[in-house]
A and B are shown apart, each in its own frame.
Chain A
Amino acid sequence: MNDDDDQNARNDRARRMRNVALALVLGALVVLFFVMTIVRLKGHVFDWQ
């Protein structure tokens, strides 16, 4: 394997890991928005009943 192949493999791996990290962050944001919405509803809507 020459230096270019080595570099390309490193780039691919780095990009893959960046994409995984971004997916995890976006997933965490979805969960955060859902949970926070429920928490805020609990204080302002559910308590009415």
Chain B
Amino acid sequence: MATAASFALNPRAATVGDFFALLKPRVMSLVIFTALAGIIVAPGGIDPVVAFTALLCIAVGAGASGALNMAYDSDIDGLMSRTATRPIPMGKIARGDALGFGWTLSAGAVTIMGLFVNLAAAALLAFSIVFYVGIYTLWLKRRTAQNIVIGGLAGALPPAIGWAAVTGSLSLAPLVLVLITFLWTPPHFWALALYRSDDYARAGVPMMPVVKGKASTRKQILGYALVLFPVGLLPGAIGLAGPLYVSAAALFGAWFVWEAVAVWRETDVAHEPAARRLFGVSILYLFVLFAALIVERLMGIAPLGHATFGAWM
């Protein structure tokens, strides 16, 4: 049977599945979903084949960012139990191969987006890849506790890229969707960091619980959750979403805040059950909000007017 050691001695044994794992498929699925929402709620029509191509480019661009992140972070990934089984620290894929794989896919995704969809979407896709790899991975991640706050912008952009693929421009509405994901990112990752803080400390990654302590992190999680609640309702206020979305955002936003309060009051610091629950609820929250946007539009119960406030690009 193949072991980690045998792979470490022979990276030529890399399987297709190992390369697929470099793309961070679980992260990619959420990116595809939020980008799809951006495409569907954007005003105007788009040829289904062009929409599919845009979604494919966004998915490949996100996956390529993941591969580059794993390549540049392979040293610290090997030190953390959550990431030690990734293909590069396991020795299944050479770091240089992952870099070539990631940059090739990035260039391909941006080029095809520019050629077949439009330049605005391609520029936004290129920006999100460069921001995630250059600003977050190479610069902020190892230097500041605000790493995932600022770096979260890259992961928040897919709805705007999807919107730009349809309209060729940006406006207030897609930026509200970006803002929701941007504010969602810190409590989501800090919940994870609370119960993985030993991992991050061992790897020397300055996540908030490691640098400022768990008590400060709990307060900040609650703060972000309280800000996220009204921001999550904004699509209803600007005419982007209807009652189904607003009801879902209110219900799941309240649940998010409830779990954030539980994290704030947590006493079991060894196991952090509330943080584990919040991590799961945060994923559900984002999924439900964007699903509600999509369902409203597909069922024809979304508001007819769009508060796009003019094109900005």
- A interface residues with partner B (beta carbon < 8 Å): 7, 10-11, 14-15, 17-18, 20-21, 32, 35-36, 39-40, 43
Beta-carbon contacts under 8 Å, B63-83 to A:
none
Q: Are B53 and A18 in contact (CB under 8 A)?
A: no
B165 to chain A, nearest CB (A): 13
A-B contact pairs, 16 of them (CB 8 A): A7-B6, A10-B2, A14-B13, A14-B14, A17-B16, A18-B15, A18-B16, A32-B53, A32-B56, A32-B112, A35-B49, A36-B50, A36-B115, A39-B50, A39-B116, A40-B116
A40 to chain B, nearest CB (A): 7
Cβ of B10 under 8 Å from chain A: yes
Cβ of B47 under 8 Å from chain A: yes
Q: How many positions in chain B have a CB within 8 Å of any CB in the partner chain?
A: 17
Which A residue sits closest to B17, measured CB to CB?
A: A17
Q: Which residues of B contact A40 (CB under 8 A)?
A: 116
Known: A7-B6, A32-B112. A15 touches B12 (CB 8 A): yes
**Given A11-B12, A15-B12, A17-B15, 16 further pairs, Cβ under 8 A:** A7-B13, A10-B2, A11-B10, A11-B13, A14-B13, A14-B15, A17-B16, A18-B14, A20-B16, A21-B19, A32-B56, A36-B49, A36-B53, A39-B47, A39-B49, A39-B50
Q: Give Cα A18–Cα B101 distance, bound, in whole angstroms.
A: 13
Which A residue sits closest to B12, measured CB to CB?
A: A11
Q: Give Cα A43–Cα B115 distance, bound, in whole angstroms.
A: 14
